[in-house]
Chain A
Amino acid sequence: MTNPARDYWRSLEELADSPDFAAVVEREVPRFRDVLDKFDRRQFLTLMAASMALAGLSGCGPEPNPQQRLPYVEAPPGVVPGRQRYYATAHTRDGYAEGVLLAHEMARPIKVEGNPDHPASLGAAGAITQASILSLYNPRRAQTVVGPGQISSWEGFVAALYRRREQLLKKRGEGLRLLTGTITSPSLGAQIAALQTAFPAMRWHQWEPLHRDNELAADQMAYGRPVARVFDLAAADVIFAVDSDLISAAPGWLAYARQFAARRRPDETGGKMSRVYAIESTPTLIGAKADHRLPMRPVEVAASVRFLAGAVGAGPSQWTEIQSPHRDWLKEAAADLTANKGHALVHAGREQSIEIHLLVELINAALGAHGNTVRLIEPPVVSPTLHLQSLSELVGDMQAGKVDTLLILDTNPAYSAPADIPFAAALKRVPFSVSLSLFADESALLATWQVPAKHEYEAWGDARAFDGTATIQQPQVRPLYGGHAPSEVLAVLQGNTQPDDLTLVRQFWQRQQGAGSAAEGNPQSLAGDAGGGQTGPQSSGSSQPALAAAEAFEAFWHEALRRGVVANTAAPPLTLTPKAGLAEGLRPLPLGGEAAIDLLFRPDEGLWDGRHAENPWLLELARTFTRLTWDNAALIAPATAKKHGVKTGDVVAIATRYGATKAPVFVLPGQAPDTATLWLGWGRQAGALAEGVGFDAYRLRGAAEPWLARATRFEKTGETYRLATTQGHDRVAGRDLIREFTLDRFNNDPEYVKQKSKDVSLYPGYIYPDRAWAMAIDLNSCIGCQACTIACQAENNVPTVGKDMVHFGRIMHWLRIDRYYSGSPDDPDVAFEPMPCMHCENAPCEVVCPVHATVHDHEGLNLMVYNRCVGTRFCSNNCPYKVRRFNFYDFAAATERPPESWNPDVSVRGRGVMEKCTYCIQRIKVKEIEAERDGRKLRDGEVVTACQQSCPTQAIVFGDRNDSHSHVARRKATPLDYVLLDDLNTRPRTSYAAIVHNPNPAIGKEQS
């Protein structure tokens, strides 16, 4: 079978070889600008993807025919066929580590799961983190070193860089520049420091498109030094969120989400709940969960924060004299905060202005949050920098010709730089530039050297979490497509021509442990058993103390690898107080009231800053609020849409001082009026899957206003664009799908809360004497992060289908999250409802299948027997919950994914077969078999479904309903528990806990 991917790469390389390659790109660019043009490109690419059935196959050498069995020559220790083993490492987002465990089947990583021992994970893992397994296997990753004008090799590159080094040493590193993203890796930090001493004139620049400059600047003002914050939401009775990403994206969000949810379950906390206020310009997860939410334009947000500061005594009191419809609302909120001094918390999102960050800091100080709900710590980031400044300086020097050697490590400024910082153009003036990247991205294609990077799961490294805790990252698999780690590239500059990341990381930690060079060991053999992470310490060296030190280090090393956490590395707390008189020093707010559109730049939920743009799972993940897949859009409020006479799907021309583009409009209830939210990370110009998908919002983004830009043009073009969303209707349409109560009602009127379930039947229900598997989903806890959707997709081999199929209504996700609105479209209440299979005891799907392809088992599972299914699809018609998915085409075969990356415990479904959530039956069976083998009963919590495992807030609980002590039985016992469409008498096993709000009685609903 010919392999389009290979062809694709070859052509790209040929392209890259041609001297006038840059010119080619220039010529190409305008074509991408045209939104309509994306149509054909998309379809072409989808077709191509579809034609790439089993692309990965060609990657794995001579195929043994399925009849053959290839036993090991020497069996690796501890590998048991058909049983999964876990190895700890970390996945980084913006440089911050999230601890993960990778499930291995026959020494092949197949799934990413959270590491319970890691503070930033606590066992949960977000959608992006879990989807990273697909990037690891992605056959479209960069695979060849490309030098100036021709395909080269790693050795060729090392030689070139080494020669370069000689020259640089002569001029003390004059003209040598390093460009990285945010780095929390201690070893890398040390390496860079070492370089700095070797090349005094070298300069290190940082560029992270989703930088936290404003926070840093505010800290500089408040404390004169960078700090980092660790929040304690468990201690926070009142939370005030200002466009906050606290439980959706901030470093440590998984941990925060868990603390947050723990305070939102009145049935488990004795009728107590935290109260959440949110003011925001665009919907956020915490805003959706808030008891009081106000959508407001950025100017109003600023004014409101000032009001708050004034009201709680963190700023001049005249700030409280504002004319705002929300004045009373803010007054009450402020009163609530002051009333809960020491238990209150205010948080502003990364995108907010320096002033707001500063004021929030002052307010927290005034509320006595510091030391209680907020802990200031030494920042885990290596040398925090103002990224925008750093990048613009670099580009300035590049244009001035002061830069002759540029190393770009794992960042892609050619794509993500602000429109008024012409990095791409400047890069052409750098005689020797190197781009180390996972994909042949925009920067790589422009650099003189493109070097494939190792994926995080292929490399040795380390990284710190939001609280400073360090993790040593161990490779999970040999580099699949070649590739090298940043540390290796830097090592070459240090003069090491045979760099090896294991040695580099080990040596660093040996120094840390003060073990010196004694326990040099021999890295290679160690790579083996360290990879195994099991074998005991091995000795080497000669002298007695050295030996002891060596063994001590081995013990430390293996423990660190095994747990995925380096013990006691959390950053020490700082006790600082903000400088006085800062608030008074602030200039009065500009009166930005006129009705132009404010453009809000936000990271995309899936593609993030664009680095995950090649990941089909994330491209197809329906965005939380819009349920939009395979595209980004300009999100505007219904009122704004009316004003501009546009509706969802209309294409508007948007321009700022920095650039212009066209974008389809999406009308989003809850968006602030006269604002448009644009997701970054789309409209890539390099890459195969993501190329030209969506539009590139970076083009509108300027260095001066990275998060908020005033649109100079926002006009309907008359064109329309087809957006593929997954939700049919936004409201419950009279069905009893979402139950909501106030905390007051919950505490004082339990009878009302316990609404009679209507499933009465003349016939006796079936008796389940042994086990009765069931699931309880707590809608209070569900924050709509969609980690479960990706977890399910990864665990159950759920294929992606592409935009067109999604648009046809053929998306395959077994577990979807329904998002329902209630109330006015301008400021609706939002409810999230995860929808797996309900596993009805009276399953309507079962009776109508003519061939017994879907049946019940004796533990109450509604089984789906793929190999018996003939595809009448009657079961889907008859499923009131619409949780069944059908393989209209051979989606699995068309999914661009090497066979070795699929989960071997789950059948891969072929064409014409129905499928659905199975409660992860493969996990149930494995545990059952283990228990039966040991002749014992299954323990509660032993079987964990993929969705439950990944959920940051523990909203999903699974277990044996018959065991009254089981967690699920306790959840189902709460008065809040209810099942969907109970009047159909389907008797679902999946039940939900109703939503409870904790409104401030002083604030009327009409205000919030």
Chain B
Amino acid sequence: MSLPGELPADEPIVAPAVTMSSLSFEVSSRVLRPGAPRWWWIGFGFSFALFILLVIQLAWLFIFGIGVWGVNIPVAWGFAISEYVWWIALASGGTIISALFHITRQPWRAATNRIAETMLLSAIPCAGLMPIMHLGRQGLFYWLFPYSSVMGVWPQVRSPLWWDFICLFCYILMSIMYYYTGLLSDLATVRDLARSRFKQIFYGVLALGWRGSSREWRNHKIVYAIMSAIMAPMVISVHSVVGLDFAGGLTTGWHDTQFPPYFFFGAVISGTAVIVMLTIIVRWGYRLQDVITQYHLNAMAKVVLVGSLLLAYAYLWEAFGSIYSSDIAEYTEYMHRMFGFTAAGFWAEKALVVIIPQLLWLPAVRRNQTMLFLISGGIIVGMWIERYVFTTASLEHNYMPSYWGLFYPTFWDWAALAGTIGLFLTMFFVLIRLVPIVSMAEVRDIIEKKKRGEA
């Protein structure tokens, strides 16, 4: 049986009208068209303005020091770290969609993975920037690299921060390669369709002389499969290690064995949510309704719902652990989180991430793009609040009552947030302008399969 408004089982992944050639043309034309559409210029302009703010913020921070932020003792970790977690979660979401679902052979991944990866690529520099800005002596971040120069001392491998640094570093490199590998054949397509000499050369160079020979295709498929196989566990480990940054600490409210999976759940939901939003924008902006169909949105909405349920479980467990715990410090800290200084954030986050997304049980909601868009937006905000609350609240109510304190963000804290969002969107807009936003190669597969199915 099916609920009212449920998509029929045979709902096509790609609209029947779409043919191989039309697909290539449709998608490539978005890239090859001379001028950019107005919505793009508006979006890009807005993003770039925010990006400038980031530059100013960085200058201010480097000149005057970390003191321009609201961090203090006891709350020595503020926005920077919670936003690092937030960004890396968004990025991981991208990898989950593209890698995890590639391995699990999800057909609908095909049309959305490029958006996911583009988002991932744009989110990663934001994530990478945060911990560096956060340092007291930003210029010396490279001391975390395991190189022994003239000092004769090495990084400390016992520190979760070091694990995290290494994970993040590998993850960034891997993501870029993964993205590019998936992009190769499409770049070739664009090259072939390009008319102006400049574009031909530009995409030609990027395509690395891809010819589309069966040998190339075979190798490509193998490499890509292997990469996916690496990326999938990697993204899980990366985000688990981010969780260990906190779980590895002795701090009340952090010292919690469930953090690695807990953080991963967060990545699933926030990542998917942001992809849903971007997909809706791109689909509308580039008028790709035929290629990116209801089917995709419906599927991703379900993923979001699952993520929200997973998180709900994690939240319950966290609450149980703290309240049932015999540790008075744990208990008071959680009470502070729920009813103290951070109460508003605490409950807002639960509503946005757990309660409201339950609407997605209803097919009608999943169908309704506006609703989908708003719910996803809510989730992303909610996840930001969640990171912020558990980072600061734990530090505010630590073991030492005499040193309880509160965290008040300053203008420059907010500037850092807005600025990185600017960086993210700027990169995203640039990328969707320059590279095909739907993986033509993979969609072709689907069309091909469908044909064969008919035949």
Contacts and interface: CB of A to CB of B under 8 A. Distances in A.
Interface of A: 727-735, 737, 805, 808-810, 816, 818-820, 833, 835, 844, 847-852, 868-874, 876-878, 880-882, 884-890, 911-914, 981, 984
A889 B137 contact: no
A218 to B, nearest CB: 41
Contact of A912 (B66, B75, B144): B66
Given A733-B401, A735-B399, A810 B65 contact: no
B455 interface: no
Contacts of B77: 873-874, 877
Given A868-B153, A870-B143, A871-B66, A727 B249 contact: no
B137 A876 contact: no
Given A847-B159, A871-B135, A877-B249, 19 more contacts: A734-B332, A809-B72, A835-B402, A847-B158, A848-B161, A848-B248, A850-B159, A852-B154, A852-B155, A870-B141, A872-B134, A872-B135, A873-B71, A873-B136, A884-B73, A889-B64, A890-B65, A914-B136, A981-B399
Which interface residue of A835, A849, A882, A889 has the most chain B CB atoms within 10 A? A882
Contacts of B225: none
A876 B74 contact: yes
B65 to A, nearest CB: 5
A882 B403 contact: yes
B400 interface: yes
B67 interface: yes
Interface string B403-442: 1110000000000000000000000000000000000000
The 3 closest A-B pairs by CB, nearest first: A871-B136, A912-B136, A728-B404
A688 B137 CA distance: 33
A878 B251 CA distance: 6
Nearest to B254: A877
Contact of A874 (B159, B332, B398): B159
B405 A809 contact: yes
Task: Sort chain B's interface into a size bin.
Answer: 35 or more
Contact of B165 (A734, A810, A850, A881): A850
Interface string B330-370: 00100000000000000000000000000000000000000
Contacts of B134: 872
B159 A849 contact: yes
Contacts of A911: 65, 136-137
**A interface: dominant SS:** loop
Interface in B47-64: 64
Interface string B158-177: 11111001000000000000
B250 A878 contact: yes
B66 A728 contact: no
A894 B55 CA distance: 26
B137 A912 contact: yes
B401 A912 contact: no
Interface in B122-164: 134-138, 140-141, 143-144, 153-156, 158-162
B136 A913 contact: yes
Which interface residue of A728, A869, A913 has the most chain B CB atoms within 10 A? A728
A816 B400 CA distance: 13
Contact of A851 (B71, B156, B250, B401): B156
Contacts of A870: 135-137, 140-141, 143-144
Which interface residue of B141, B159, B405 has the most chain A CB atoms within 10 A? B159
A833 B75 CA distance: 22
Contacts of B332: 733-734
Nearest to A871: B136
A818 B404 CA distance: 12
Given A734-B328, A850-B165, A914-B136, A873 B76 contact: yes
Nearest to B69: A888
B329 interface: yes
A517 B162 CA distance: 76
A791 B154 CA distance: 36
Contact of B402 (A818, A884, A914): A818
Contacts of A871: 66, 135-137
A872 B251 contact: no
Contacts of B141: 870
A733 B328 contact: yes
Interface in B199-257: 248-251
B120 interface: no
B395 interface: yes
Nearest to A891: B67
Interface in B75-130: 75-77
Nearest to B78: A873
Contacts of A914: 136
B259 to A, nearest CB: 15
